[in-house]
Amino acid sequence: MNFFRGVMGGQPAGPQPTGAETIHKLCDRVASSTLLEDRRDAVRALKSLSKKYRLEVGTQAMDHLVHILQTDRSDSEILGYALDTLYNIICNDEEEEQDENAQKQEEDLGVLFTDKFLGDSENVTLLLTLLEEFDFHVRWPGVKLLTALLKNQCNQVQGVILVSPMGVSRLMDLLADSREVIRNDGLLLLQQLTKGNAAIQKIVAFENAFERLLDIITEEGSSDGGIVVEDCLLLLVNLLRNNSSNQNFFKEGSYIQRMKPWFEVGDDNSGWSAQKVTNLHLMLQLVRVMVSPVNSPGATSSCQKSMYQCGLLQQLCTILMATGVPADILTETINTVSEVIRGSQINQDYFASVNAPSNPPRPAIVVLLMSMVNERQPFVLRCAVLYCFQCFLYKNQKGQGEIVATLLPSTIDANSISAGQLLCGGLFSADSLSNWCAAVALAHALQDNLTQKEQLLRVQLATSLGKPPVSLLQQCTNILSQGDKIDRRGSKVQTRVGLLMLLCTWISNCPIAVTHFLHNQENVPFLTGQISENLGEDERLVQGLCALLLGICIYYNDNSLENYTKEKLKQLIEKRIGKENFVEKLGFVTKHELYSRAAQKPQPVFPSPEQMLFDHEFTKLVKELEGVITKAVHKTSEEEKKEEEVKKTLEQHDSIVIQYKDLIRDQDTQIQELREQVSTLSLNSEQMHNQITQQQSQIQQHKDQYNILKLKLGKDSQGLSSSQGEGAHVNGLHSEELSQLREEVEELRRQHTLQHTQLSDKDSLINTLVRVYYTDDGVTAGCSHQEVESLRSRVQAQCAEISQLQTERQELIRRAEAVVRTQTQPSPCLEICPTALSPRSLLPLQEECRGLREGHAGLEQQLASAQSTVAIEQTEKTKLQQEVQESKKEQDDLLMLLADQDQKILNLKQRLRDLGETIDEDEDELDTRDQFGEDDDDDDEEDEENND
């Protein structure tokens, strides 16, 4: 103990040992002490020295400290000291007072000791086990140590935790700890753990992380909360960014609806704290993560729909139009609203209906555009408004039409400011950034919309008093050609690039706009002059865009102007510029550094206004047109004519093929319906087969009844014979009963005759069914030939049985008549046995006869119904077969015509190949499959039916 007092404090008697010597002695004490108290004191001493002598403690004591964690699990105090010591030597303290060299040395030491600790992966597993301890002195330093390890070697620690059983679940339990310091440090730990690891992110999400984090945010006061809310939001962003599985889980769990209260700001927006600004900024980022353009379109669309339905979009628009909102929050809100409405028609329609709380009320779009063309507004805010306008028009032809309509003469309202007026004002203002933003915004109103491109040609502008109005297209080209005026305004490159992007977007894929552009005699000479000049580096981009504009005039030229046909424009390029020089200037556009940056993502993000040159959608247009323009410039007039002829011929043939395809599809539909009818008939035939089986069963029942009747009549005849020999007399048998018995016998005879006739009809019916089910190949459609033969043999056997029964019944009737005749003659023998043939003894015979009559009546009805059904099915079957034969004949004729057309198309495409044109082989194969795939399928199905 005196030794420790010397280390911890007090004045030693002799010379003081160095730090390394002291640490060495402490390590020996930790390793050799048998008493827990001695080891605990030694570890506590190492902890006190670990910050000052970080290198020495880390080098000498780390193995001993890890051993303490493994062996002294029962003492929480020594575990806490060991964990604190390890944390001190691994963690890199970020102190502002340190210079860069000292800070770098600290980081190097942290990484060095982290690698040493992670040399054995079991150390991380041991640390995860210690986190299960509820004791504060163990759990808290364990959380801090694991966080430090993740900061220094994130990927390695993540790999160990990922394969550790219940590793992530143990860390998720930290969020449920009632001690806030552990819960808050657990949030920091999970932030480090979920960085860049999608697998861990999914596990954390399915450990109910979203529910817990949202509950913590609500408990801490949402946007008004402190640093804990910020940590929760950072963790949520980690879990959702670029993780489609977690995004879908977040949406399906209805967690988007719980985000709406975050953005309910009051009327008094003054005095926002820095923490609230940070929290709300992260909340807006979280919304953008769910609807980011880089997500899959389906997931983004689903989240956009949920945000509209729960009112989140409406709440964001309220912040957008509120007063007193900090500038950075307003900018981020605009960007968030932009991505919530991008490509979603219902959200775009709602945004178009939002009005600013002004007097009179103005649409939110107009208010935002006023900020965009106002040069006094911050640059980032103007970029955000431009992005919002682009997202509003993205795949929104309705919105594009509304914007262009505000420029047309018939819809202009002189008493109010419209979006079109603001765009025109910005397009021709003295601020080059306003010129560029207005040009790009107007280009998005024309993107992929031929109707609006043609409508915008009607826009007329009054340039000055006493002069006639000029078109908007002409005014844009006039500003381009007036180089001197632009030079005086400064930043001429940005203005000219914006106007050239607008013109290229406007006239591309619009021959009418090309004609209007070429109609001005000054435009083509201006473009050729710009391209042919040898200008500086800054002007090369303008030259490339001029080459692109001239190439569009060639590619989309309908040759309606005699002086500027495709051929004459190409000759002009060859004489004044040179084809190779033209292609080289055209390539300057895609080689520009800012072009590559703009092509990466839709949002316009520029470090400075001077670098704001390219628009994302325009980069797509350049990529699409560069190749086709190069080919169009190099083509000769003869190749152009041949290509036009081939195109016309192909179009004609394509129209014919399309007609035949439609006809074949109609016939295929009819054939399918006929097949369904055949299937129905087959089902009906099977039902009739079942009815025949039931009738056979009924015949067997009648056979059994006949046998019972034969036995009873035989017994009665024996009784009558014995009674006649004895000379008995029947006293109770009246003449009426005897006559009734005779009538029943006659009725049985008639029924027998009728049944015989019906059975003959049934036999003919079965033969008819057999003929119906035979096909032309000798194979039945409803059942096989063998089944029919088997059915016929069974019917013949049943007919033989019926004949035998008829014979027996004749014998029974004969014997019954003999009995009746005997009863009509008085005999002395009958007087001896008066009860031998009483009415009571004849009663069972009468009941049997009655039951037999009822059974015959039911059989007659069934036979009649079956015969009627077979007749109807026979008629429908014949009609159906005739229709199928006619359809096959028509289809064969059409196939012959299609074969001729296909041969002609192949010849024409071969001619195109001979002329040097590239023919897409995939399209050829697709056309071939479209023409003949369905016919082959029909033939295969018919072959399968014949085989069946």
- Within its chain, how far is the Cα of 435 from the centroid? 39
**Which stretch of 103-107, 567-571, 882-886, 921-925 has the lowest confidence by average pLDDT?**
921-925
- The more confident residue out of 874 and 318 is 318
- Asked whether the predicted pLDDT for residue 411 surpasses 70, the reply is no
Show the domain range for 100: 18-170
Angle value at C-alpha 697, between 696 and 698, nearest 5 degrees: 90
Q: Give the separation between CA 264 and CA 640, rounded to whole angstroms.
A: 64
Domain count, the chain: 2
Angle value at C-alpha 747, between 742 and 749, nearest 5 degrees: 95
- Give counts: helices (H), strands (E), the chain: 41, 4
Q: Name, in order, each residue with C-beta under 8 angstroms of 502's C-beta and a sequence gap of 6 or more.
A: 427, 439, 440, 442, 443, 476
Select from 179, 160, 83, 76 the least CA-distant residue to 122. Answer: 160
Token readout for 159 is 């790999």
The set of long-range contacts for 704-712, using a CB threshold of 8 Å and a minimum separation of 24, is: 705/848, 705/851, 705/852, 705/855, 706/805, 706/808, 706/809, 708/848, 709/812, 709/845, 709/848, 709/852, 710/808, 710/812, 712/844, 712/845, 712/848
Per-residue pLDDT tens over the stretch 581-610: 999 999 999 998 899 999 999 999 888 998
Q: Give the separation between CA 547 and CA 536, rounded to whole angstroms.
A: 16
Q: Give the separation between CA 67 and CA 61, rounded to whole angstroms.
A: 10
3-state secondary structure of 920: coil
Query: Quick check: is 707 in a domain?
Result: no
What region does 889 belong to: left with phi over 0, alpha with psi -120 to 50, or beta?
Answer: alpha
Torsion angles phi and psi, residue 781, rounded to 5: -85, -40
Dump the DSSP string for 682-703. HHHHHHHHHHHHHHHHHHHHHH
C-alpha separations of 839 from 730, 834, 835, 844, 918 in Å = 10, 11, 9, 10, 106
3-state secondary structure of 491: coil
Query: Quick check: is 620 in a domain?
Result: yes
| Burial of 81: CB neighbours in 10 Å, binned 0-12, 13-18, 19+ | buried
**Which stretch of 189-203, 610-624, 626-640, 842-856 has the lowest confidence by average pLDDT?**
842-856
pLDDT value of residue 602: 92
In single-letter form, the type of residue at position 253 comes to G
pLDDT value of residue 203: 94
Q: 10 Å Cβ neighbour count for 411? A: 12
- The more confident residue out of 840 and 872 is 872
Query: Quick check: is 608 in a domain?
Result: yes
Query: Quick check: is 839 in a domain?
Result: no
In this prediction, what percent of the chain has a pLDDT beyond 90? 40
Token readout for 821 is 């005749």
Q: 10 Å Cβ neighbour count for 277? A: 16
Q: Give the separation between CA 574 and CA 252, rounded to whole angstroms.
A: 61
Query: Quick check: is 942 in a domain?
Result: no
**Which stretch of 174-188, 455-469, 867-881 has the lowest confidence by average pLDDT?**
867-881
| Omega of the bond leading into 360 within 30 degrees of 0 (cis) | yes
Q: Name, in order, each residue with C-beta under 8 angstroms of 732's C-beta and a sequence gap of 6 or more.
A: 834, 838, 839
Question: Of 137, 170, 203, which residue sits at a domain end?
Answer: 170
Is the separation of the CB atoms in 557 and 566 below 8 Å? yes
Q: Give the separation between CA 716 and CA 710, rounded to whole angstroms.
A: 10
Torsion angles phi and psi, residue 656, rounded to 5: -65, -45
Residue labelled with tokens 């041949």: 642
Question: Of 136, 170, 204, which residue sits at a domain end?
Answer: 170
Residue labelled with tokens 């400011």: 417
pLDDT value of residue 822: 47
Per-residue pLDDT tens over the stretch 190-234: 999 999 899 999 999 999 999 999 999 999 998 888 999 999 999
pLDDT band at 673 (very low <50, low <70, confident <90, very high): confident
Residue 460, strand partner residues: 471
Query: Quick check: is 483 in a domain?
Result: yes
| Burial of 353: CB neighbours in 10 Å, binned 0-12, 13-18, 19+ | exposed
Residue 780, strand partner residues: 774
pLDDT band at 417 (very low <50, low <70, confident <90, very high): confident
Report the mean per-residue pLDDT for the chain: 80
Q: Give the separation between CA 50 and CA 869, rounded to whole angstroms.
A: 102
Maximum Cα interatomic distance, the chain, rounded to a whole number of Å = 163
Quick one: average pLDDT of 621-649?
Answer: 77
Per-residue pLDDT tens over the stretch 789-838: 555 566 566 666 666 666 766 766 676 566 545 444 443 333 323 333 34
Question: Of 617, 635, 653, which residue sits at a domain end?
Answer: 635
Q: Give the separation between CA 694 and CA 700, rounded to whole angstroms.
A: 10
Angle value at C-alpha 329, between 326 and 333, nearest 5 degrees: 135
pLDDT value of residue 682: 84
| Omega of the bond leading into 834 within 30 degrees of 0 (cis) | no
Q: Give the separation between CA 917 and CA 454, rounded to whole angstroms.
A: 32
C-alpha separations of 219 from 177, 225, 232, 272, 483 in Å = 15, 9, 12, 20, 63
Q: Give the separation between CA 726 and CA 827, rounded to whole angstroms.
A: 10
3-state secondary structure of 194: coil
pLDDT value of residue 856: 61
pLDDT value of residue 98: 52
Q: Name, in order, each residue with C-beta under 8 angstroms of 214's C-beta and a sequence gap of 6 or more.
A: 255, 258
Query: Quick check: is 513 in a domain?
Result: yes
What region does 132 belong to: left with phi over 0, alpha with psi -120 to 50, or beta?
Answer: alpha
Is the separation of the CB atoms in 279 and 225 below 8 Å? yes
In single-letter form, the type of residue at position 158 comes to Q
Token readout for 419 is 């979006």
- The more confident residue out of 729 and 428 is 428
Per-residue pLDDT tens over the stretch 245-273: 999 999 999 999 999 999 987 666 667 88
Q: Give the separation between CA 728 and CA 841, rounded to whole angstroms.
A: 16
pLDDT value of residue 763: 59
pLDDT band at 893 (very low <50, low <70, confident <90, very high): confident
Query: Quick check: is 885 in a domain?
Result: no
pLDDT value of residue 777: 41
589: CATH: 1.25.10.10
pLDDT value of residue 861: 72
pLDDT value of residue 423: 94
Per-residue pLDDT tens over the stretch 478-521: 888 875 344 434 457 899 999 999 999 999 999 999 999 999 88
Is the separation of the CB atoms in 172 and 183 below 8 Å? no
Residue 774, strand partner residues: 780
- Asked whether the predicted pLDDT for residue 722 surpasses 70, the reply is no
Q: What is the DSSP letter of 859?
A: H
- Asked whether the predicted pLDDT for residue 8 surpasses 50, the reply is no
Q: Give the separation between CA 99 and CA 70, rounded to whole angstroms.
A: 38
Which is it for strands 460-461 and 355-356: parallel, antiparallel or unpaired?
Answer: unpaired
Residue labelled with tokens 């790009």: 440
pLDDT value of residue 510: 94
Token readout for 623 is 């990529």
Q: 10 Å Cβ neighbour count for 582? A: 25
Quick one: average pLDDT of 51-79?
Answer: 89
- Computed on alpha carbons and rounded to an integer, the radius of gyration of the chain in Å comes to 49
pLDDT band at 287 (very low <50, low <70, confident <90, very high): very high
